[in-house]
């Protein structure tokens, strides 16, 4: 069966520090991968998605970037965090041939 | 523009009362719509999709193209239904990305 992992589960970082959040999927190949941010009162905002290795699409201009170095690995990064980057980050995958997305446990990021 | 609107941030009902979580969408074409749910300390997960026309945990949702709505309903709410509910619309390209509403927190009181 397929599983999706995210780490770390929680992270507290100072403003201006770098960021790297990792997401991996097991039990499937060539998944579509997604990064969302879940902000209080604002629902889920799609940040990036990827339909294949090295293929990244950005949905909103921001301080973050994403990479997909391997088929089942999706990384969310920043060179210098801002206070506004605080939030709950969710990774998701879908088979690409169906519409359901499967979500990871999320990472709670607090920027101080 | 593709958009999903959930007008209620919080819906509070008593156990046994009917529930309707509202969702309206903006989409040019035939939409594919979903309801996702997030229970406390659990992952966000799919509850139901309109193309399946199924009832999950007593919830149903009917697509009304005339009113561009996809409201989630349950005739008798249970305490375990308390959760965050998100309505989502499938985007128009091949990425299969979902466009989510802002969510409604359902609180079912005993």
pLDDT of residue A108: 94
Structure tokens at A19: 């960021």
Nearest to B65 by CA among B20, B35, B14, B29: B29
Nearest to A20 by CA among A30, A35, A33: A35
**What is the Cα–Cα distance from B20 to A112, expressed in whole angstroms?**
39
Count of residues in chain B = 110
- Is pLDDT above 90 for B6? yes
Structure tokens at A62: 């921001």
All structural domains of chain B: 3-109 (2.60.40.10)
Q: What is the CATH number that goes with domain A3-111? A: 2.60.40.10
Nearest CA of chain A to the CA of B17: how many Å?
Answer: 25
Name A70's bridge partners: A73
Residue B95: closest C-alpha in chain A = A51
pLDDT of residue B33: 92
**What is the Cα–Cα distance from A27 to A19, expressed in whole angstroms?**
27
* Over residues B55-61, mean pLDDT: 91
Helix (H, G, I), strand (E, B) or coil at B81: helix
Q: Is the dihedral of CA A80, A81, A82, A83 positive or negative?
A: negative
CB of B8 within 8 Å of a chain A CB? The answer is no
pLDDT in tens, A41-74: 677 888 999 999 999 998 877 789 999 999 999 9
DSSP B4-68: EE---SEEEEETTS-EEE--EEE-SS---EEEEEE-TTS--EEEEEGGGT--BTTBEE--BTTTT
pLDDT in tens, B61-108: 989 989 999 999 999 999 999 999 999 998 877 667 888 999 999 999
pLDDT in tens, A70-96: 999 999 999 999 999 999 999 999 987
Residue A39: closest C-alpha in chain B = B102
The residue among A43 and A12 whose pLDDT is bigger is A12
Give Cα B77 to chain centroid, integer Å. Answer: 15
pLDDT of residue A98: 63
Q: What ranges do the domains of chain A cover?
A: 3-111
Q: Which of the residues B95, B100, B102, B103 would you substitute to probe the A interface, choosing the one with the greatest number of A C-beta atoms within 10 Å?
A: B95
Q: Is B48 exposed, middle or buried (0-12, 13-18, 19+ CB in 10 A)?
A: buried
Q: Is B32 exposed, middle or buried (0-12, 13-18, 19+ CB in 10 A)?
A: middle
**What is the Cα–Cα distance from A101 to B11, expressed in whole angstroms?**
25
Kindly list the residues from chain B whose CB atom is less than 8 angstroms away from the CB atom of residue A49.
95, 97
């Amino acid at each position: 069966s397929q599983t999706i992992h995210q780490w770390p589960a929680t992270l507290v970082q100072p403003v201006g520090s770098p960021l790297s959040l990792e997401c991996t999927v097991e039990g499937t190949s060539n998944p579509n991968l997604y990064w969302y941010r879940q902000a209080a009162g604002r629902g889920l905002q799609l940040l990036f998605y990827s339909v294949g290795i090295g293929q990244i699409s950005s949905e909103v201009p921001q301080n973050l970037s994403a990479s997909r170095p391997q088929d089942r690995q999706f990384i969310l990064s920043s060179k210098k965090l801002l206070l506004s980057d605080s939030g709950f980050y969710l990774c998701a995958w879908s088979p690409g041939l169906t519409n359901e997305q499967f979500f990871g446990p999320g990472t709670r990021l607090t920027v101080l | 523009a593709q958009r999903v609107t959930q007008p209620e941030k919080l819906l509070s009902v008593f156990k046994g009362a009917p529930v309707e979580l509202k969702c309206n969408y903006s989409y040019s074409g035939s939409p594919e719509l979903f309801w996702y749910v997030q229970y406390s300390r659990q992952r966000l997960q799919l509850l139901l999709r309109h193309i399946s026309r199924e009832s999950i945990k007593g919830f149903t949702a009917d697509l009304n193209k005339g009113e561009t709505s996809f409201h989630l309903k349950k005739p008798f709410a249970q305490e375990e239904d308390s959760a965050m509910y998100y309505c989502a619309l499938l985007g128009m390209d091949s990425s299969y990305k979902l466009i989510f509403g802002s969510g409604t927190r359902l609180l079912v009181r005993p």
